[in-house]
Structures are given as C-alpha cells and as structure tokens.
Amino acid sequence: MRQHGASRCRTWRKRHPAVDADSHEVVAAELTVAFVGDAEVLPDLLAQLPAEASIAIVATDGADDTQVCHPALLERRVTALIPPRAGAVAWPPLAESPPHPRTVTLDAIQQYGRTRWKPLSGYHRRSLAEAAMLRLQRFFGGHLKNHRFDPQTIEAYAHLAALNIMTRWVCRKLSQSANQTLQHLSTLHR
C-alpha cells in the first residue's frame, strides 16, 4: 500500500496513426494503453474515416495479418498490403471470389521473394507513416505531459492537428519551390 497518494509511475501509451500517402497527413488516429495491439486498432481507424472516403490501399506491418483486420479491409473494399508472417499458410477462398487476397499476397511473396515484392506492390509507401511518427516525436517529444488518459488523448490529438498543419505548410512551400525551379530551368533551355 502506498502511504502518500497514487503512484507516480506512468503508464505507457501507444499512438496509432493512419497516414494518407499522398498528402502525408494523419487522417485517423487512436491513443491506447501499451498492451493494445495494432491489429485491434485497425478496424477502429477505418471506422474513423467517412464511409464515402476513397481508400485504395492500406499498407501495414505483419502485426495486422489477422482474422480481425482482413475482414474489416474487405468490408471497405480496400486492397490490403500486409506481409504475412513467416510460415504463413493460405487461407480458404472467400465465398464470392477466387482466392483470399491474403493468399494472393502470400503467393506473390513466394514467387518474387519478400524483398522484391515490397517495391512491386507499393508496400514501401508504408514508410510514410513511420516518417509521420518520426516528425511527431521530433516536434513534440516522445512522451505526453499529462498524467491522466483523457487529457493525454486531447494532447495527442492536438499534436496530430499541429503536425498536419505543419505538413500542409511544408508541402505547399516545397511545391512552390519546385515550380520556381522548373520555371527557372525552362527559361535556361530556351
């Protein structure tokens, strides 16, 4: 029993972002306790996006190669780029289609090898989410200042909103700079 108030030990939290590969912005996010896995959060991230939102591809790591994630992605009619775990076996085909999309991915990895499959499938774009997490940690640090979960959630979403504002600003400036460079190069070649 602790004699003087609650323990000062903090509980780890995990941020789960969903990043748009084109705009580099975080479009959905969850803050959870440390023991909640990525596979449990993916359906919730999909639910945060509007039903009419067009999602072509979801690329995640092998942690989302579960019986929970694949049906959620199939329901949204999204192509799943999830590398099956080592030793994975084919899943039974779906009732309304030929082989399960996970089985197609497994066959492609067996045919081309995991290293070659990643650039062929576009899986390498998953690194954009990792880059967003790196930006988040660089700008705001690796931990949250508040001690209770509700204020931590507000703080985490405020960080993500600020990160999106900075990302939009930087992308706009880079686009303007690229346009100026192209205009300058075109005048040199006349």
* 84 in any annotated domain: yes
Q: In the prediction, which pLDDT does 1 show?
A: 47
Q: In the prediction, which pLDDT does 54 show?
A: 85
Q: In the prediction, which pLDDT does 43 show?
A: 93
* 8 in any annotated domain: no
Tokens of 41: 């959060």
Range of the domain at 19: 13-185
* 57 in any annotated domain: yes
107 phi and psi angles, rounded to 5 deg = -65, -40
Q: In the prediction, which pLDDT does 49 show?
A: 92
* 107 in any annotated domain: yes
Q: In the prediction, which pLDDT does 3 show?
A: 59
Measured CA to CA, the distance from residue 57 to residue 55 in angstroms comes to 6
Collapsing DSSP to helix, strand or coil, 28 comes out as strand
Q: In the prediction, which pLDDT does 44 show?
A: 94
Q: Helix count (H) and strand count (E) of the chain?
A: 6, 4
* 168 in any annotated domain: yes
* 76 in any annotated domain: yes
* 123 in any annotated domain: yes
Q: In the prediction, which pLDDT does 92 show?
A: 83
* 6 in any annotated domain: no
Query: Residue-wise pLDDT tens for the chain (190 aa)?
Result: 455 555 566 678 888 899 998 888 999 999 999 899 889 999 999 999 998 888 888 988 888 888 899 889 989 988 888 988 888 888 888 777 678 888 889 999 999 998 999 899 988 888 888 888 898 889 888 888 888 889 999 999 999 999 999 999 988 888 888 777 777 677 776 6
Q: Residue 26's beta-bridge partner residues?
A: 19
Q: In the prediction, which pLDDT does 9 show?
A: 64
Q: 159 near 138, Cβ under 8 Å?
A: no
The tally of domains found in the chain comes to 1
Measured CA to CA, the distance from residue 141 to residue 139 in angstroms comes to 6
